């Protein structure tokens, strides 16, 4: 074991390939279904939304997929990212556990999101795409894609969940700085947005609604625009695995291997990026690391949702996939962890939870901010509210070690900083935040709107 507290790979160790979990999944894949016919989609259908080079990554079974050099060249602006041992946090907790965190806050826009944004912009540029549409919740994804599109000369329209648009204006300004066009969703720019506003003029929006608007713009563009998303689908999960691949090497540098791996989960991208390389070791080398996905109690997709087919968006225009879902009609409360306010979860993450390879937990808003403040006071980094869910779970694991006397190695992903979340921290410090647990009856009602899927799918 090393006495160092910071573990940094040099740029020669930047991964040359992404890890594709399709090659190792312990359960057979489920089909992606057409939203109208509920039959398996064809590549041509997906080609309306995505360039074919990305569509083919969805079905690829190769364990390792080469990272194009133009993508690696941009990655080198901030990658490899450091891994730290949180010794001051350990001391504050009085725990025998060793706590490590992978610091994705050092990217140009302050989160893990550029890992896939740069890749998606590259593949779209290579395919001849001129313009993209997307959604964003807290704005981390929108900021990342805006930067990536700027690098590759693509125009971008972003539908930002309305409550986050107003809660996090600085993230919107970052997007606009990169020449992206940002709209508070629901908007009057799309047929679906108008319908939502007619039913509820004060709608706070949701990721499902924002996805519907972005998809509608792409589908009705006559082929001039493609859609890009920051989570859920397989190619996004794969692009993010640079995080965990680096972390594996950094744990070797530290002379330890994690007993517990933790990341927050909204759609699944940062969770998969950090955890999937460790899942790979569990599945192929017999490692026994506990893999933990942490979500808000107010948006408990994995812990209260149903594992079934559902649409990826509120308008039911996106393909239907098998995943844990709260129902595509779900409208989340206005918690500050905007990046975790999604009704569904990545099919690959969902399948691993259902199979027992990943443990799902939920955390309430107040205890999450309590953990975030302790982390900032001990480690000096103010985390994003989303990332604080992973911190909460890591602290809980470390406290269990203190109580039992066990010395475990705990590793979590610090997926983004909270520099643009100061209003949330101000509300917490002034006692204005409240806990909210999504009620079971609301989940049951939403399940009545699930798509009717043919038997055997």
Residue 102: pLDDT above 90?
Answer: yes
Average pLDDT of every residue of the chain: 93
Selection from 232, 269, 231, 229 nearest residue 134 by Cα: 229
Does the N-terminal peptide bond of residue 80 adopt cis geometry, omega within 30 degrees of 0?
yes
Which sign does the torsion angle of CA 238, 50, 35, 204 carry? positive
User: Collapsing DSSP states into helix, strand and coil, what is residue 381?
Assistant: coil
pLDDT at residue number 2: 60
Least confident of 141-145, 325-329, 351-355, 451-455: 451-455
pLDDT at residue number 363: 95
DSSP state of 183: E
**Mean predicted confidence (pLDDT) in 73-79:** 98
Distance of alpha carbon 418 from alpha carbon 439, whole angstroms: 28
Per the domain annotation, does 144 fall within a domain? Answer: no
pLDDT at residue number 34: 83
Residue 309: pLDDT above 70?
Answer: yes
Per the domain annotation, does 411 fall within a domain? Answer: yes
Distance of alpha carbon 248 from alpha carbon 252, whole angstroms: 6
Per-residue pLDDT tens for 386-435?
999 999 999 999 999 999 999 999 999 999 999 988 988 999 999 988 88
306 phi and psi angles, rounded to 5 deg: -110, 140
455 falls in which pLDDT band (50, 70, 90)?
low
CATH code for the domain of 283: 3.40.50.1100
Per the domain annotation, does 99 fall within a domain? Answer: yes
Task: Give the CA distances from residue 104 to residues 298, 309, 383, 407, in Å, rounded to whole numbers and listed in that order.
Answer: 25, 32, 10, 26
Query: Tokens 């610091």 identify what position?
Result: 103
pLDDT at residue number 134: 97
Residue 69: pLDDT above 90?
Answer: yes
Query: Tokens 């409550």 identify what position?
Result: 163
Query: Tokens 């950094």 identify what position?
Result: 250
User: Which structural domain range is residue 244 located in?
Assistant: 6-14+68-110+236-441
pLDDT at residue number 294: 97
Distance of alpha carbon 159 from alpha carbon 133, whole angstroms: 8
- Residues 329/449, Cβ–Cβ less than 8 Å: yes
Burial degree of 68 (CB within 10 A; 0-12, 13-18, 19+)? middle
* Neighbouring residues of 437: CB distance < 8 A, sequence distance ≥ 6: 297, 298, 300, 364
**What is the token pair recorded at 337?**
């962890």
Burial degree of 13 (CB within 10 A; 0-12, 13-18, 19+)? middle
CB-hemisphere CA count at 13 Å for 243?
36
Per-residue pLDDT tens for 383-394?
999 999 999 999
Selection from 150, 156, 115 nearest residue 134 by Cα: 156
Per-residue pLDDT tens for 202-223?
999 988 899 899 999 999 998 8
pLDDT at residue number 340: 66
Task: Give the CA distances from residue 352 to residues 25, 151, 279, 307, 348, in Å, rounded to whole numbers and listed in that order.
Answer: 8, 35, 9, 11, 6
Q: Domain count of the chain?
A: 1
Per the domain annotation, does 218 fall within a domain? Answer: no
438 falls in which pLDDT band (50, 70, 90)?
confident
Distance of alpha carbon 137 from alpha carbon 182, whole angstroms: 12
CB-hemisphere CA count at 13 Å for 71?
25
Which sign does the torsion angle of CA 346, 348, 354, 360 carry? negative
* Neighbouring residues of 218: CB distance < 8 A, sequence distance ≥ 6: 48, 49, 132, 133, 225, 226, 227
Distance of alpha carbon 293 from alpha carbon 346, whole angstroms: 12
Q: CB 28: neighbour CB atoms within 10 A?
A: 6
Per the domain annotation, does 215 fall within a domain? Answer: no
Residue 307: pLDDT above 60?
Answer: yes
Per-residue pLDDT tens for 9-18?
999 999 999 9
Distance of alpha carbon 99 from alpha carbon 407, whole angstroms: 10
Chain centre distance of CA 358: 16
Least confident of 41-45, 282-286, 347-351, 367-371: 41-45
Per-residue pLDDT tens for 176-191?
999 999 999 999 999 9
Q: What is the pTM of this model?
A: 0.94
Distance of alpha carbon 24 from alpha carbon 63, whole angstroms: 8
**Mean predicted confidence (pLDDT) in 360-375:** 96
Per-residue pLDDT tens for 155-175?
999 999 998 898 888 899 999
pLDDT at residue number 181: 97
441 falls in which pLDDT band (50, 70, 90)?
confident
Q: What is the C-alpha radius of gyration for the chain, rounded to an integer number of angstroms? A: 20
154 falls in which pLDDT band (50, 70, 90)?
very high
Per the domain annotation, does 383 fall within a domain? Answer: yes
pLDDT at residue number 444: 85
pLDDT at residue number 341: 65
- Residues 410/100, Cβ–Cβ less than 8 Å: yes
252 falls in which pLDDT band (50, 70, 90)?
very high
Residue 335: pLDDT above 60?
Answer: no
Residue 336: pLDDT above 70?
Answer: no
pLDDT at residue number 319: 85
pLDDT at residue number 333: 61
Selection from 252, 177, 198 nearest residue 2 by Cα: 252
**Mean predicted confidence (pLDDT) in 129-146:** 94
53 falls in which pLDDT band (50, 70, 90)?
very high
Per the domain annotation, does 264 fall within a domain? Answer: yes
Per the domain annotation, does 349 fall within a domain? Answer: yes
Least confident of 51-55, 64-68, 419-423: 419-423
Distance of alpha carbon 261 from alpha carbon 393, whole angstroms: 10
**C-alpha angle 256-262-267 in degrees, rounded to nearest 5:** 145
**What is the token pair recorded at 377?**
């006071």
Residue 337: pLDDT above 80?
Answer: no
**Mean predicted confidence (pLDDT) in 12-40:** 93
Burial degree of 198 (CB within 10 A; 0-12, 13-18, 19+)? exposed
Burial track 145-154 (b if 16+ CB lie within 10 A, e otherwise): bbbbbbbbeb
């Amino acid at each position: 074991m090393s006495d160092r507290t910071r573990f940094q790979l040099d740029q020669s160790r930047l991964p040359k390939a992404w890890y594709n979990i399709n090659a190792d999944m312990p359960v057979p894949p489920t089909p992606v279904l057409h939203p109208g016919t509920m039959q398996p989609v064809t590549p041509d259908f997906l080609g309306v939304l995505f360039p074919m080079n990305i569509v083919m990554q969805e079905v690829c079974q190769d364990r390792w997929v080469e990272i194009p050099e133009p993508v690696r060249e941009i990655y080198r602006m901030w990658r490899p990212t450091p891994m730290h041992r949180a010794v001051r946090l350990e001391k504050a907790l009085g725990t025998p556990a060793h706590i490590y965190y992978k610091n994705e806050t050092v990217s140009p826009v302050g989160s893990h999101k550029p890992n896939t944004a740069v890749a998606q912009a590259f593949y779209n540029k290579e395919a001849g795409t001129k313009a993209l549409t997307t959604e964003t919740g807290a704005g981390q994804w929108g900021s990342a894609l805006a930067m990536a599109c700027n690098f590759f000369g693509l125009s971008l329209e972003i539908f930002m969940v309305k409550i986050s648009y107003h809660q996090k204006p600085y993230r919107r300004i970052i997007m606009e700085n990169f020449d992206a066009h940002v709209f508070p969703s629901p908007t009057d720019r799309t047929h679906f947005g108008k319908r939502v506003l007619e039913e509820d003029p004060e709608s706070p929006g949701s990721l499902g609604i924002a996805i519907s608007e972005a998809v509608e713009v792409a589908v009705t563009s006559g082929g001039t625009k493609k859609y890009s998303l920051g989570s859920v689908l397989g190619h996004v999960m794969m692009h993010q695995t640079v995080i965990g691949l680096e972390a594996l090497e950094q744990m070797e540098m530290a002379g330890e291997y994690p007993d517990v791996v933790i990341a927050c989960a909204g759609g699944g991208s940062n969770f998969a990026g950090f955890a999937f390389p460790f899942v790979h070791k569990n599945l192929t080398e017999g490692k026994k690391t506990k893999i933990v996905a942490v979500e808000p109690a107010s948006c408990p997709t994995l812990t209260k949702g149903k594992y079934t087919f559902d649409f990826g968006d509120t308008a039911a225009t996106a393909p239907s996939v098998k995943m844990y879902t709260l129902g595509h009609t779900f409208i989340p409360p206005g918690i500050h962890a905007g990046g975790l306010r999604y009704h569904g979860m990545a099919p690959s993450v969902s399948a691993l939870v259902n199979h027992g390879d990943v443990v799902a937990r939920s955390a309430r808003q107040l205890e999450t901010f309590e953990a975030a403040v302790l982390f900032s006071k001990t480690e000096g980094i103010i985390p994003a509210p989303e990332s604080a869910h992973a911190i909460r779970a890591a602290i809980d694991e470390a406290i269990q070690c203190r109580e039992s006397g066990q010395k475990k190695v705990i590793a979590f992903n610090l997926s983004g900083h909270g520099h643009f979340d100061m209003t949330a921290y101000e509300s917490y410090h002034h006692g204005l935040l409240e806990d909210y647990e999504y009620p079971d009856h609301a989940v049951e009602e939403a399940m009545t709107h699930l798509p009717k899927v043919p038997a055997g799918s």
